[in-house]
Chain A
Amino acid sequence: MQNNFPIIFFSSCLQVLGIFIVTFFILHLLPGDPIQVMLGESAALSDQVKLRAELGLDQPIYKQIINSFSQIMHGDFGNSIFTGAPIKEQIIFAMKNTYYLASAALIIAIILGITGGVIAAKYRGSSLDKVIINLSLFFISIPHFFLGPLLMLCFSIGFGWLPISGMDSPFSIVLPALTLSLGMLAIIIKMTRNCMIEIMESDTVRTARAKGMREWSITIHHIFRLVLIPLITIIGMQFGSLLSGAVITETLFSWNGLGMLLVNSIQMRDYPITQACIFVIAISYVLVNLLTEILYKIVDPRMKDI
């Protein structure tokens, strides 16, 4: 195969279609009549008929699928059942906040993770290496809903440095971003360290040393470029865990993102919003995976012919 971008792109499209079908049927899986579940059994009959027509549930199922697909392609997610406001605006607002939070977490994880991994690899076997490894093991076992309260206890209640929750001050992002990033940070540290050690012992690096290249120049030109390849894959793969971790983290810190919108909509039984949130989160995950795969092929020229 000369070029398999079309194949990757096609399979991503199939995934998007699959996600759409799964989220579409969520409403149909509701036990009993979805309209009665949402409005309550004592709702007036006229309200029930109105909502049924609004959600398009009075039409045959194939028509419903086509209608809702064309709606979503136009970026229209329908209206909220409780407020009647269009869901699109809420979703876009929440999406901005979630991406803001996720990218902050990503930046923290990448910067600290690569630094930690490089240090651990350079001083392999030393006590510093052991401290970094054990810390990353600790980070990996700690669930978001425990790490968050721990950070709150330490930095908000204990020292009083940072706001405990909400999004009022510009420093509000620090704690949720830290909470979200630590799991990924641990994986990046582990990956960077193991790759660095493997590459540092390779022939390329030995040749470069024999040529008399400077140590920092070897690190940047030879080692780091090769470490980048597996790192991109792992970061792309782990982005999904950032998105699903955001559900818990946002609820914990009252961060107005997709995760909190999702949890609130579930509690209010506002199912169209639930559907939209799940759809948007899954789609962004697929897009990131697609991006990772493309980036991977650009960074590693060896992958072009495979």
Chain B
Amino acid sequence: MSARTAAAPARVARPVSWRRPVNTGLRYALLGVILIFAVFPFVWTLAIALTDKTAGGSIYAFPQSLLPSRVTLHNFVDVYRTFSLGKYLWNSVVITGLTVLGTLLVSALAAYPLARFRFPGRGVIFGLIVLTLVLPGETTFIVNTLTLKNLGLLGTHAGVVLPTIAGAFGIFLMRQAFLAIPAALLEAARLDGASELTILTRIMLPLTRPSLAALGIFTTVTTWNAYFWPMLVLSGAPDKAPLAVAVLKLKGQFNYDPFNIAAGSIIMMLPVLLVFLAAQRLFLRGMEGAVK
């Protein structure tokens, strides 16, 4: 970074010409078109959610429907009351909360010895975890459903959560974080008579808080949005479904009241959007894909 800054004055200046402002303008125009493609569905959904449906307008009256003349929050109240949105919201919170806690706990515990200890079988275990990244998972959901049924967990939140919490992504992310902590620190703690559990909870975890936060945030977003697996596990228990599954039922429920559906969608999107805005650097750094 500093080398690049230092080299800047020596850089050959590009010939100034009429092309420059045209290029910049073109660049922004292109960026704008892609922006519309990316966010138009959200903008429209928000507009519908805020529209006063008693005014009698159609959501399809373009482009007026993008700028509702009478704005209201009534749709949010309406969808919350009539669709018992609170119940599904709570299910989403429980499933996401349990998944995040479980993932952090299991990943950190597994990553610690992989990063810090030498023990027989370490290479094999490491290889097995890497293997999960490339193995084909086409039929996994069938057998897992049967396993959950046998365990009496089909149709429960635990059934949704348990199969998803141990994964290579979390374990490797935490292992990387543990490896970055200087060994001298651990030696000092051991000489002071600290147990391994104390070292993990008092030194390792506080020092790797950024990685724990990152893992927690990625897991939150993935779990909150997950559709297929919770739909499958909870197909016999619709009352336990999270919002991502329930939102599709909104259609039948209200004789397709688009205003309520839009309001429900915004409620579902909002938490994820806030998490993303607060931690966008994390997502835009590409770490998620780098480990996957």
A, B in one complex: no
